[in-house]
Structure 1
Amino acid sequence: MRRSARKTESPDLGILAARLLFGLQADLFRRGAELGFGDLRPKHGAVLAYLDEDGLRQAELTRLAGRNKQTIGAILDELEKLGYVTRVPDPADRRSRLILPTERGRQWMELSDRIVADIERRHAEAVGAEEYAAFLRTLTAVTGAVRP
């Protein structure tokens, strides 16, 4: 059996994880674009998924996203130009800067949380609430074991 056929018939963890991620991203950003957020791309999710209303330092966003500092910095530059975030001095440490959502950023945070909740609700309906809760517990345990 060819590798492509084998991977299609019996997908491994990488393929399943990619399908889940890309499917969620496609749905999230398509629906977001339909509601006025067409300037966002899946790569922006590395920052927007973790952004807090009261701000986070770039180092914390980098750690949470599991990306390198340069990648997060480039994404922040884009999001700042697009009007989703702003950088301000951190009142707790003037040497640091906080990444704060703008009003548009807060609107996206609210909308994306609702869309993701809707996607999760749809998955739970498809497999059953208990089965989906067990899936989330297992996925959390598996991904917790691989996170640095």
Structure 2
Amino acid sequence: MRRSQSKRIDPDVGILAGRVLFSFQRELFTALAAQGHDRLRPRHGAVLAHLDREGSRATDLSALSGQHKQVIGTLVDELAELGYVERRPDPKDRRAKLIVPTERGLDQMAKADALVTEIEQRYAEKVGAEEWAAFKHAFRKITES
């Protein structure tokens, strides 16, 4: 059997993870666009998915997302221009800045949270609640190590 046929029949975990990610992002960002957030792109998720409502440091966003700090800086610039975040001095360290969601950012975060819950519920219905919980547990263990 040729390698390409084998990959179609039994794709490796990288291919499967990519398929899940791209499908999930497409559904999430299409729904967000329909709810008034049409200028966001999946790349913005590296910031928005990890942003605390009270604000986060760029270094923390970088560590949580796995993106370089320079990439996070570029994404924060884009999101600030779009009106989703702003930079504020960190009250715990005057040298540092916090990335803080604006009202528009908070609206997006609330809508995204609800959409993610809906998507995950559909996934759980598709494979069963126990299997879904086991999948998330295994995925978490792999990604946290």
User: Matches of 1:61 and 1:38 in 2, distance apart?
Assistant: 23
Trace 1:74-89 onto structure 2 (pairs within 5 A).
Answer: 74-89=74-89
Q: Secondary structure at the match of 1:55?
A: coil
Matched, 1:125 2:125: yes
Q: Does 1:18 align with 2:18?
A: yes
Report the AA paired with residue 59 of structure 2. Answer: A
Q: Which digits, 9 at most, give the CA deviation of each residue in 1:46-80, with x for residues without a partner?
A: 00000111001111111111110110000000000
Q: Distance in 1 between matches of 2:5 and 2:128?
A: 30
Rounded to whole Å, the distance in 2 between the matches of 1:62 and 1:40 is 19
> Corresponding residue for 2:70?
70
Q: How many residues end up aligned between the 2 structures?
A: 145
RMSD: 0.8
- The residue number in structure 1 matching 2:91 is 91
**Which residue is equivalent to 2:37?**
37
Residue 3 (1) aligns with residue 3 (2)? yes
Q: Which TM-score applies when normalising by structure 2? A: 0.97
Code of the residue aligned with 1:107 in structure 2: it is D
Runs of 4+, deviation exceeding 6 Å: none
- Cα deviation digits, residues 29-56 of structure 1 (max 9, x gap): 0000111111000000000000111001
| Gapped regions of structure 2 (runs ≥ 5) | none
Question: SS in structure 2 opposite 1:98?
Answer: strand
Paired-residue identity, %: 53
* Residues in 2 aligned to 1:134 and 1:102: alpha-carbon distance in whole angstroms: 36
Distance in 1 between residues matched to 2:62 and 2:135, nearest whole Å: 27
Post-superposition Cα deviations, 1:87-113, rounded to whole Å, max 9, x if no partner, equal 011111110000000000000000001
Which letter maps to 2:117? A
- Classify the secondary structure of the residue corresponding to 1:56: coil
Residue 8 of structure 1: how far off its partner (Å): 1.0
User: For 1:143 and 1:89, how far apart are their aligned partners in 2?
Assistant: 32
- Please list, as runs of the form range in 1=range in 2, the aligned pairs for 1:99-110 lying within 5 A after superposition: 99-110=99-110
Separation of aligned partners in 1, 2:95 and 2:10: 51
| Alignment partners' CA distance in 2, 1:112 and 1:79 | 15
